[in-house]
């Protein structure tokens, strides 16, 4: 299917030439902020921001706004703010996980220790709000603060459920909503707000973002079971090693009684984790989890189609391609 080959380039082509220009301004602003708070932040936050990946959240802000956003500066500020919040959570997650590498580069935690990582994350988080306040939109600040609370609650839930393989599917999905989907939702809402969209369009674009965020997390969790280190930058079964129970394991336990009896605390080496991943894979659970994620993406795309009248053609196509790109990650 051609949609599975959707790349950021194709998305940008569909959305129009304003998108790469604005994305470049977001990059510039992120680099400015990383450099503008002294040498420690420049070194540590700079590397995290630079290693920040595909800029999916800023892209969603820009695409949800469409080509007619009232003020390009405000749009760039909103897109920068969501990426700062995302970067802050990456830095803090690496403290939580004591992760040595992210995307093949040393984490702030590994380079500077937990003290530096906690303070760096806090600074990125605060700066996100400073950035957004400059747009003059209280609705935007409210949206981001709710997403920030959700992220932290998701982390708390994850810690509470750690090592508990018997966790329910609903609880897992709630955690994914909080940890990931809500910032995707906020990204779309911030874009729509910047374009002065009406309340129902803001809500519909938010719902679209939330769904693809949820699918994104589900597929990320499948990748951790199926993927190889070269592609994901992590070893297979990383989640299992830090006690994070995800959908593939939850579903696999229903199908394999011996697997259900495994105490996760006995899984301590990458080899044991890899073996457990093979066992999960053998039950077909990752395929089922993937199918669940694809169904959510399909719902998101339907929701988008219903918005046809409120959106520009290129905007609709570009958002549709973003939904495809989330699916594409599993390939």
C-beta of 58 vs 121, nearer to a copy of itself: 121
Size of the site for a copy of itself (CB under 8 A): 43
Q: Is 38 in the site for a copy of itself (CB under 8 A)?
A: yes
Distance CA 218, CA 1 (A): 21
Strand residue runs (E) in the chain: 101-102, 105-106
Cβ 233 to a copy of itself, closest distance in Å? 21
Q: Give the range of 58-66, 138-146, 183-191, 248-256 binding a copy of itself by CB under 8 A.
A: 138-146
Q: Is 151 in the site for a copy of itself (CB under 8 A)?
A: yes
Largest Cα span, the chain: 59
Q: Is 121 in the site for a copy of itself (CB under 8 A)?
A: yes
Q: Give the range of 144-152, 192-200, 207-215, 283-291 binding a copy of itself by CB under 8 A.
A: 144-152
Backbone angles phi, psi at 106, to 5 degrees: -60, 140
Q: Is 133 in the site for a copy of itself (CB under 8 A)?
A: yes
Of the residues 28, 32, 122, 228, which one makes contact with a copy of itself according to CB under 8 A: 122
C-beta of 114 vs 255, nearer to a copy of itself: 114
C-beta of 182 vs 329, nearer to a copy of itself: 182
Q: Give the range of 19-27, 108-116, 204-212, 281-289 binding a copy of itself by CB under 8 A.
A: 108-116
Distance CA 275, CA 80 (A): 41
Contact positions with a copy of itself (CB under 8 A) in 56-85: none
Please provide the DSSP assignment of 77-111 as one string: HHHHHHHHHHHHHHHHHHHHHT-SEETTEE-HHHH
Q: Is 13 in the site for a copy of itself (CB under 8 A)?
A: no
Helix axes 169-176, 247-255, angle to 10 degrees: 170
Distance CA 209, CA 112 (A): 34
Of the residues 4, 24, 70, 156, which one makes contact with a copy of itself according to CB under 8 A: 156
Look at residue 191 and give its three-state secondary structure: helix
Distance CA 159, CA 179 (A): 12
Distance CA 311, CA 110 (A): 44
What residue ranges bind a copy of itself (CB under 8 A)? 37-41, 89, 92, 95-96, 112-116, 118-123, 125-127, 129-130, 133, 136, 138, 141-142, 144-146, 148-149, 151-153, 155-157, 159-160
């Amino acid at each position: 299917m051609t949609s599975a080959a959707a790349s950021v380039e194709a998305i940008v082509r569909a959305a129009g030439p304003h998108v790469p220009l604005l994305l470049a301004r977001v990059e510039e602003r992120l680099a400015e902020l990383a450099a503008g708070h002294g040498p420690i932040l420049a070194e540590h936050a700079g590397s995290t921001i630079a290693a920040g990946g595909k800029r999916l959240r800023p892209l969603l802000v820009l695409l949800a706004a469409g080509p007619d956003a009232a003020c390009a500066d405000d749009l760039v500020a909103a897109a920068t703010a969501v990426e700062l919040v995302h970067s802050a959570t990456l830095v803090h997650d690496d403290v939580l996980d004591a992760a040595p590498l992210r995307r093949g580069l040393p984490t702030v935690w590994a380079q500077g220790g937990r003290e530096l990582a906690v303070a760096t994350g806090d600074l990125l988080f605060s700066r996100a709000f400073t950035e957004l306040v400059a747009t003059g939109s209280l609705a935007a600040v409210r949206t981001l603060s709710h997403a920030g609370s959700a992220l932290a609650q998701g982390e708390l839930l994850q810690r509470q459920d750690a090592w508990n393989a018997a966790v329910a599917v609903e609880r897992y999905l709630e955690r994914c909503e909080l940890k990931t989907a809500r910032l995707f939702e906020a990204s779309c809402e911030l874009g729509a707000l910047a374009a002065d969209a009406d309340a129902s369009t803001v809500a519909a674009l938010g719902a679209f973002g939330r769904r693809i965020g949820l699918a994104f997390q589900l597929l990320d969790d499948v990748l951790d079971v199926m993927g190889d280190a070269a592609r994901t930058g992590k070893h297979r079964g990383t989640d299992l090693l830090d006690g994070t129970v995800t959908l593939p394991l939850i579903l696999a336990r229903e199908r394999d009684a011996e697997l259900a009896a495994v105490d996760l605390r006995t899984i301590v080496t990458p080899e044991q984790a890899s073996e457990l991943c093979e066992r999960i894979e053998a039950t077909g659970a990752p395929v089922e989890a993937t199918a669940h994620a694809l169904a959510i993406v399909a719902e998101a795309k339907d929701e988008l189609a219903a918005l046809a009248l409120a959106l520009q053609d290129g905007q609709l196509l570009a958002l549709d391609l973003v939904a495809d790109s989330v699916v594409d990650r599993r390939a």
